[in-house]
Amino acid sequence: AALSQISNPDSEEFISLQGQLDQARAAVAEIEATGLIQQYTALKSSLSQLDAGQKEIDQGKDEATRQFAAAEVQLVNAKSQLDSGREQIEENKQDIRTGWAALEEGKTEYKKGLVEYEDAKEEAKDVFAEAE
């Protein structure tokens, strides 16, 4: 019975529903005319692009953070190697200073031995000269 009243174009229910439908269509037409739906669609698309861009930025930031951490480790290792090299250089300098000191001591001993040799040689000459 209710369906027959709605189906009958002369019934009050049909006319009332038709009026409500016309009002709804008019409201939709007004909304479409304002461009609000297109603006919403454009905003939704922009938001989607912004989300994608933010995701790229976050991924880039994460990658940069990883690379920075790796570079920091490399710098720490390089500094350690430089410090080790500096220590080795200082040890080598000390060895060189010790070597120069030993060389100077050796020269002094050589000169002392040479003087003793020359003195002994002169003494031997004198002894041989007296023996003749």
The pLDDT tens digits for 88-106 are 999 999 999 999 999 999 9
Residue 27 belongs to a domain: no
Residue count of the chain: 132
Residues 53-67: what's their mean pLDDT? 97
Domain for residue 3, yes or no? no
On average, the pLDDT of the chain sits at: 92
The reported pLDDT for the residue numbered 4 is 66
Residue 65, in any domain of the structure:
yes
Domain span holding position 80: 35-93
Q: Is residue 49 part of a domain?
A: yes
> What's the mean pLDDT in 7-24?
87
CB neighbours of 36 closer than 8 A, spacing ≥ 6? none
Which 8-state DSSP code applies to residue 11? Answer: S
Residue 71 lies inside a defined structural domain of this protein: yes
Residue 19 inside a domain? The answer is: no
114, part of any domain: no
| Residue 23: inside a domain | no
The count of domains in the chain is 1
* Alpha carbon distance 86, 77 (integer Å): 14
Looking at residue 2, what is its pLDDT? 62
The tens digit of pLDDT for each residue in 42-58 reads: 999 999 999 999 999 99
Kindly state the tokens that stand for 101.
């000191």
Q: For 101-115, what is the mean pLDDT?
A: 96
